[in-house]
């Protein structure tokens, strides 16, 4: 899932470390998120959208998985 966390963070002039503290997650979590290593939990997605004053849909781009069924 694509996301705009990095863009938003930078628009807010924050470091990864600052962001991680505000969201109460580890810096690793932010790094991995921005790198697209994994998807956030819905809790983290909500926290991010609140902080950046946007919707989850604005921040994360969902594309249907190619269901191999």
Per the structure block, which two tokens stand in for 16? Answer: 């990864």
With respect to a second copy, which residue has the nearer C-beta, 15 or 43?
Answer: 43
d(CA 42, CA 56): 9
Q: Which of a second copy, DNA, none has residue 69 at its interface (CB below 5 to 8 Å by kind)?
A: a second copy
Tokens 């580890």 correspond to: 26
15 scored as a contact of a second copy (CB under 8 A): no
Candidates 31, 54, 61, 62; binder of DNA (CB under 7 A) is 31
Q: Residue 51: which of 2, 17, 5 has the closest Cα?
A: 5
- In the complex, the residues that contact a second copy under the rule CB under 8 A are 1, 24, 39-43, 45-46, 50, 55-57, 60, 62, 65, 67, 69
């Amino acid at each position: 899932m694509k996301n705009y966390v990095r863009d938003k963070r930078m628009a807010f002039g924050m470091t990864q470390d600052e962001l991680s503290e505000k969201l109460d997650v580890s810096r690793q979590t932010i790094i991995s998120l921005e790198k697209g290593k994994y998807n956030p939990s819905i809790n983290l997605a909500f926290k991010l959208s609140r902080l950046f004053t946007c919707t989850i849909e604005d921040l994360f781009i969902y594309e249907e998985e190619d269901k191999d069924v």
